[in-house]
Amino acid sequence: MNDARTGAFELVLKLRDAGFEAYWVGGCVRDMLLQREPKDYDIATNALPDQVLTLFPGGHAVGRAFGVILVPDSGKHVVEIATFREDHGTVDGRHPQRVSFSDARADALRRDFTVNAMFMDPVTNKILDYVGGRDDIARRLIRTVGDPQQRFEEDYLRLLRAIRFAATLQFAIEPATADAIKKHATRIIRVSADRVRIELTRLLLEAPRAGDGVDLLDQSGLLNAILPEVSAMKGVEQPAQFHPEGDVWTHTRIMLNAMQTDDPRLAWAVWLHDIGKPPTATEIDGRIRFDRHAGVGADMADTILRRLRFANRDRETIATCIRGHMRFADVPQMRPARLRRWMAQPEFPTELELHRLDCQASHKKDDSQKIIETMQHQLANRISLPERWIRGTDILELGLPPGPEIGYWLQEAYDAQLNGISDSRDELLKWLRHQIAGRIKTCRNGDYLVKRKPFAGP
């Protein structure tokens, strides 16, 4: 018995010792019947919220009106303990108008899906199943408890949860439940962006084949309601020599199905990496082009991620990966300094995995990957960039006045250092002095001018 299970077991025993009913409930019961290790354990009881708090003074009421108390176990886990209840009416397609505390059977009948509405006695391992959940697990079926129209009208987030459960468990959706999802799909926009983001992210990370989950989203009508920009990828043809697998939608699905990650930034970068192709698609003389689609896609992704209320750092990382995902084509021609600086960026491992999946889902060429792996091997544990030998004060001491040209020469010196032009700081200073002396064109009235091409990076 693992720590989470042991802690939840002890809480059940304490409730029972105090004279209350108590069972494990919901997803943990489902997962144990599927012989999967539950991620967490929830408890349902006939103890009222105040009685739970009296019994567990360290508990925290997150929804006392709904009978929900968070209680720390004897280890490092927190267990949700909820009082058996019935829900009455709905306020906003998300929350009930009121609740009344009841018994286990009534509690099961107000839950979302049959596979999530079973109770287990952890002492005897007896299952309490009032809704046919065990049969639906055997049939690998997602079905609402009772009337699907009513279940979804009570809480529109259940529309997305049905898709997530089907994708993560690899179950089918029962026909009446699927029809009700399609009927109510447009109402998903009434759910908060935070809840939608969480459900979509869990689908991407937890589904064994996230691309199939995205297909379910599309077939249900939910995708077009939430992310019409993604839905627009369907039917956008690509050049066969680069993408023999098919259109943009097919390419993205293949990548998602091949993706195995617990990093939401990578998952969303994969899903949105070609979102700029539909608005940039052109065909000239029979040649399909998507000029500047990476930059357009990064801007579109930024808008979507803002809409879904992503944290700024995550949003910026995802957009950076999308904006730069075509740079890998330039790796064979890159100067070592530029490549090394790029490899040292914190987002680079995510960008590299995005590139690998992109190649595997299309032409399968990996020349850039091999070059990067070779440099990574050469650098070994020295992937972080070395300290700069030349500082701004050094350039000032060479006679240049303060101004924007200082930054240019700092970059030139650092590129020279990374490219191995000089073996020491003294040699690099001599090289820099020579470069500056050769490029100074004039110095008049304190104005410093340099004869050079505009600096565009190494």
CATH code at position 161: 1.10.110.30
What whole-number distance in Å separates Cα of residue 161 and Cα of residue 251? Answer: 25
Residues 268, 198 share a domain: no
Q: Which residues 6+ apart lie within 8 Å of 138 measured at CB?
A: none
DSSP conformational letter for 238: -
Looking at 119, 139, 159, the residue that finishes a domain is: 139
- Residue bearing the bigger pLDDT, 454 or 224: 224
Percent of the chain with pLDDT over 70: 89
| 444: helix, strand or coil | strand
**Cβ count within 10 A of residue 116:** 21
| Model pLDDT, residue 439 | 62
d(CA 307, CA 414): 40
Q: Are both 135 and 154 inside the same structural domain?
A: no
Q: Do 450 and 439 form a contact (C-beta atoms < 8 A)?
A: yes
Q: Quick one: average pLDDT of 145-165? A: 96
Model confidence band, residue 377 (pLDDT cutoffs 50, 70, 90): low
Residues 212 and 193 in one domain: yes
Apex 227 CA angle, 271 and 189, nearest 5: 140
> Hey, what are 266's tokens?
């990578």
> Do 235 and 376 lie in a common domain?
yes
- Across the range 323-351, mean pLDDT stands at 82
Residue in this structure with the two tokens 């609740």, named with its chain if needed: 99
Residue carrying structure tokens 């700081």: 425
Q: 384 pLDDT band (50/70/90 cuts)?
A: low
Same domain, 173 and 100: no
Q: Does 292 lie in the same domain as 373?
A: yes
pLDDT per position as a tens digit, 390-439: 887 888 777 777 777 787 878 888 877 777 777 788 888 888 888 877 66
pLDDT of res. 233: 96
Same domain, 265 and 319: yes
How far is the C-alpha of 64 from the C-alpha of 168, rounded, in Å? 31
> Rounded to whole angstroms, how far apart are CA atoms 231 and 224?
6
In angstroms, the CA 260 to CA 238 distance is 25
DSSP 254: H
Mean pLDDT score, 59-65: 82
How many domains, the chain?
Answer: 4
Q: Does 442 score more than 50 pLDDT?
A: no
Q: Which amino acid is at 77?
A: H
Band of residue 191 on the pLDDT scale cut at 50, 70, 90: very high
* Angle formed by the axes of helices 264-272 and 293-307, nearest 10°: 130
pLDDT band at 53 (very low <50, low <70, confident <90, very high): very high
pLDDT confidence bin for 455, thresholds 50/70/90: very low
How far apart (Å, rounded) are the C-alpha atoms in residues 171 and 162? Answer: 10
Cα separation, 83 vs 104, in Å, equals 9
Amino acid 144 reads T
* pLDDT of 215 over the 80 cut: yes
> Once rounded to an integer, what is the mean pLDDT over residues 151-161?
95
Structure letter (DSSP) for residue 113:
B
Over residues 275-286, the mean pLDDT reads 91
Residue 117, class by beta-carbon neighbours within 10 Å (0-12 exposed, 13-18 middle, 19+ buried)?
buried
First to last CA, the chain: 57
Averaged confidence pLDDT in the chain: 87
374 assigned to some structural domain:
yes
Strand 85-88 to strand 98-101: parallel, antiparallel, or no bridges (unpaired)?
antiparallel
Residue 455 included in any domain = no
pLDDT of residue 41: 95
Predicted structure pTM score: 0.79
Q: Are residues 360 and 237 in the same domain?
A: yes
Which SS3 state, helix, strand or coil, does residue 101 take? strand
Percent of the chain residues past pLDDT 90, beyond the cut: 60
Looking at the fold, whether 156 and 106 belong to one and the same domain comes out as: no
Antiparallel, parallel or unpaired: β 440-444 and 447-450: antiparallel
Mean pLDDT of 435-448: 54
Lowest mean pLDDT among 204-218, 309-323, 434-448: 434-448
Question: Which of 198, 226, 254 is the C-terminal boundary of a domain?
Answer: 226
Which residues make Cβ contacts (< 8 Å) with residue 273, sequence separation at least 6? Answer: 252, 255, 297, 321, 322, 325, 354, 358
Q: Which residues contact 279 (CB under 8 A, 6 or more apart)?
A: 232, 296, 300
Amino acid at 207: A
Residue 454 in this model has a pLDDT that exceeds 60: no
pLDDT band at 250 (very low <50, low <70, confident <90, very high): very high
Q: Is residue 456 part of a domain?
A: no
pLDDT value at residue 385 = 60
Q: DSSP secondary structure string, 58-105?
A: T-EEEEGGGTEEEEE-SSS-EEEEEE-EEEE--SSSSS-SEEEE--HH
Domain that holds residue 401: 392-450
Report yes or no: 106 and 86 within 8 Å, Cβ to Cβ.
yes
Q: pLDDT tens digits for 227-237?
A: 999 999 999 98
More confident residue, 382 or 173: 173
Cβ of 292: how many Cβ atoms within 10 Å?
Answer: 11
Q: Kindly state the DSSP code that residue 450 receives in the 8-state scheme.
A: E
Take residue 405 and report the two structure tokens written for it: 């040209």
Reported as a single tens digit per residue, the pLDDT across 84-143 is: 998 887 766 677 777 889 999 999 999 999 999 999 999 999 999 999 999 999 999 999
Residue 375 pLDDT > 70: no
